[in-house]
């Protein structure tokens, strides 16, 4: 619950709100992460409003406290206060939410430069 309150405080501070109906997406990223860029690009392509926040040691400690493990990769993606996982899990979640999505659509994504 504390983690969710901290996320809400960050949203208000940053002025960004990530909503899919009643869903909120937060993508924790690092600068040189290819899959972080892919997750952000995927959200853009699917017209999702999202927020991208830099991952730091405080975020890793909170995830470890809440989830029982310390992530070793990025991106780390949350929907509301529920941990989703990384880029692959984001696409899996999207497939479940949007039955019209086709795997062949991934070829339409622009290359990340």
Q: Express each pLDDT in 51-75 by its tens digit.
A: 999 999 988 898 898 889 888 899 9
CATH number at residue 16: 3.40.30.10
Query: Does residue 73 form part of some domain?
Result: yes
Domain presence at residue 96: no
| pTM of the predicted protein model | 0.69
> Nearest Cα to 21, choosing from 97, 81, 78?
97
- Is 20 within the bounds of a domain? yes
Confirm whether 106 is domain-assigned.
no
Cβ neighbour number for residue 57 with a 10 Å cutoff: 8
pLDDT (0 to 100) of residue 28: 95
Measure the CA–CA gap between 40 and 56, rounded to whole angstroms.
Answer: 18
Phi and psi at 17, nearest 5°, equal -130, 130
In a domain, 49, yes or no: yes
In a domain, 52, yes or no: yes
- Total domain count, the chain: 1
Instruction: Please count the CA atoms within 13 angstroms of the CA of 103 that sit on its side-chain side.
Output: 2
Q: Which range of residues forms the domain containing residue 7? A: 2-90
pLDDT higher than threshold 70 for residue 23: yes
Average confidence score pLDDT of the chain: 77
CA 25 to CA 85: how far, in whole Å? Answer: 12
35 domain residue, yes or no: yes
């Amino acid at each position: 619950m504390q983690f969710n309150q901290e996320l809400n405080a960050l949203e208000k501070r940053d002025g960004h709100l990530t909503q899919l109906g009643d869903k909120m997406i937060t993508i924790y990223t690092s600068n040189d992460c290819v899959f972080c860029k892919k997750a952000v690009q995927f959200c853009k392509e699917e017209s999702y409003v999202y927020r991208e926040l830099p991952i730091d040691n405080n975020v890793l400690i909170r995830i470890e406290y809440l989830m029982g493990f310390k992530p070793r990769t990025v991106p780390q993606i949350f929907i509301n206060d529920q941990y989703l996982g990384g880029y692959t899990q984001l696409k899996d979640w999207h497939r479940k939410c949007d039955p019209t999505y086709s795997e062949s659509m991934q070829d339409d994504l622009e290359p990340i430069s």
